[in-house]
Amino acid sequence: MLSPTSTDVIRATLPVVGAAISDITTLFYRKMFDAHPELERDLFNRGNQKQGEQQKALAGAIAAFAALQLEPDQARVDLILSRIANKHASLGIEPAQYAIVHTHLFAAIVEVLGDAVTPEVAAAWDEVYWLMAETLISMEAGLYASAGVAAGDVWRDVRVRERRHESADTVSFVLTSVDGSPLPTFAPGQYLSVAVRLPDGARQIRQYSLSSAPSSGDWRISVKRSGEVSNFLYHNVFEEDIVSVSTPFGDLVLQDDDAPLLLVSAGIGCTPMIGILSHLADTEDNRRISVLHADRSASSHAHRAELTELVERLPFAVMHRWYEDLGARRPEGSLREGRADLGEVTIAPGTRAYLCGPLPFMLGMREALLAKDVPAENIHYEVFGPDSWSAAGV
Ligand SMILES: Cc1cc2nc3c(=O)[nH]c(=O)nc-3n(C[C@H](O)[C@H](O)[C@H](O)COP(=O)(O)OP(=O)(O)OC[C@H]3O[C@@H](n4cnc5c(N)ncnc54)[C@H](O)[C@@H]3O)c2cc1C
Ligand code: HEM
């Protein structure tokens, strides 16, 4: 907990720091990457840096965490920090690196706010930083321990056993160990990081959800070509190639209870849902399950046939699909034209919902679920990029 003196100072300075936090985080990254170019080249996602997404996520997290020291809400603190800790663990972040971030973040704060940063103000924000950092370090230590690895030691080489087209622009890779030993298991819904060495020498890392069930023994990921890394994987990685990946992490995991399930996805957001459904089918789960998927068309719908097969294997599962363009098809049964609409979907009492897809899609679905009386704490989601949603507290 923050000390009473620091709490007063944070209350007084939060509006000023909050207003300048985007400038501060932008300058922070510039300073840190000038001092440590290897971090920009080999650890951070340079696409997110260009688009300002990571700056936004960091700024949002710090501002939200500081505000939550004034009006405590432990559930929100846990949600925000667990998201970050899982992402950090999947990148192998180590405790010593927090001092590097601290140095450049505070240099940026002083440069942006100038004389407003008195010794008392600096001490109070220092306390907030280390409170956040120490909580993250301890959560990450817990994640490394449960994965059975030393801090940061998450990387391993795996062999591509199979590569398959799952739609016009998506390929899946089945990954297996190089020496035939079993791969660590994972929880349905989790993801792993993939690191590739790009032609200009940079090592870039991206996350991909596991689209297979833990019982398969292998890890399968499905990659939609879009930018630097996904295009690299699509064009360069084939059967028998060796790929560097992390141990699985992630906190969007299937809860082991018997609440009715609603799985809602759009586009490539189908991947964690396919993993979850494969697990439910393999374990002959008897839950009531509604599967909703929206896509541009049948040809862009990755794992289209597999989704239907999985739903057919589950005795109490129903499926609803929407394609913006039905092409020569006609709407029939569970297939409709247009965008996903919860209007016609029955939501069973006590439903637990899992969302994955573009942010505007998920926000729309969340609104519709809240309107149908699904409580916010039963709505779980995964953002396929820096998560600026949790910190915003929508
Ligand atoms: C937890 C998690 C799970 C994920 N699971 C999956 C999954 O299962 N399958 C999957 O395919 N992806 C998944 N992703 C997304 C994946 O990690 C990558 O973000 C995605 O593959 C794009 O990375 P990239 O390197 O190809 O694109 P980047 O080069 O990083 O670009 C990202 C996007 O921005 C666009 N872009 C890049 N530069 C610019 C620019 N200057 N101006 C405008 N637009 C630009 C690109 O076209 C692209 O759409 C997941 C992400 C997370 C965080
Ligand atoms: C208190 C300190 C820190 C805070 C508040 C913080 C916050 C965040 C946030 C909010 C994200 C986005 C999470 C998401 O994807 O949803 C993130 C990602 C990340 N963090 Fe941290 N972080 C901290 C320390 C560190 C340290 C010490 C390092 C290592 C140098 C680091 C490296 C990264 C990287 C590489 C990513 C992924 C970036 C990307 O994909 O663009 N962070 N962090």
Domain ranges of the chain: 4-147, 155-246, 261-382
Confidence of residue 42 (pLDDT cuts 50, 70, 90): very high
Report pLDDT for 393: 62
* Local structure of residue 17 (DSSP, 8 states): H
Q: Classify 291 as helix, strand or coil.
A: strand
% residues pLDDT > 90 (the chain): 88
Where is pLDDT greater, at 300 or 75?
300
pLDDT at 121 over 80: yes
For 290, phi and psi rounded to 5 degrees?
-110, 125
In ligand 1, the atom with minimum distance to the C-alpha of 386 is: 53
Q: Compute the distance between CA of residue 196 and CA of residue 204 in angstroms, rounded to an integer.
A: 6
The CATH T-level fold of domain 261-382 is Rossmann fold (3.40.50)
Q: Compute the distance between CA of residue 337 and CA of residue 328 in angstroms, rounded to an integer.
A: 11
Report pLDDT for 394: 57
Report pLDDT for 318: 96
Q: Compute the distance between CA of residue 386 and CA of residue 54 in angstroms, rounded to an integer.
A: 6
In ligand 2, the atom with minimum distance to the C-alpha of 383 is: 16
Q: From atom 19 of ligand 2, which residue's Cα is the shortest distance away? A: 88
pLDDT at 350 over 80: yes
For 249, phi and psi rounded to 5 degrees?
-140, 180
Which pLDDT tens digit goes with each residue over 383-394?
Answer: 998 877 776 665
Mean pLDDT for 160-174 is: 97
* Least confidently predicted of 68-77, 182-191, 226-235, 351-360: 68-77
Pocket test for ligand 1, best of 221, 230, 271 (most atoms within 8 A of CB): 230
Q: How far is the CA of 288 from the centre of ligand 2 (A)?
A: 37
Tokens representing residue 347 in the block: 């939501």
pLDDT at 173 over 90: yes
Phi-psi region of 148 (alpha: psi -120 to 50; beta: other; left: phi over 0): left
Beta strands, E only, the chain: 155-167, 170-177, 191-197, 203-209, 219-224, 242-246, 261-266, 289-295, 317-323, 335-337, 352-356, 379-382
Q: Please, how many CA atoms are within 13 Å of residue 316, restricted to the half-sphere of its CB? A: 13
Indicate the residue type of 385: G
Which pLDDT tens digit goes with each residue over 287-307?
Answer: 999 999 999 999 999 999 999
| Catalytic (active-site) positions | 98, 140
Confidence of residue 276 (pLDDT cuts 50, 70, 90): very high
**CATH number for region 155-246:** 2.40.30.10
Q: How far is the CA of 208 from the centre of ligand 1 (A)?
A: 10
Q: From atom 27 of ligand 2, which residue's Cα is the shortest distance away? A: 98
For 362, phi and psi rounded to 5 degrees?
-65, -40
% residues pLDDT > 70 (the chain): 98
In CATH, 4-147 is 1.10.490.10: yes
Indicate the residue type of 230: S
Indicate the residue type of 306: E
Q: How far is the CA of 298 from the centre of ligand 2 (A)?
A: 36
Which pLDDT tens digit goes with each residue over 199-228?
Answer: 999 999 999 999 999 999 999 999 999 999
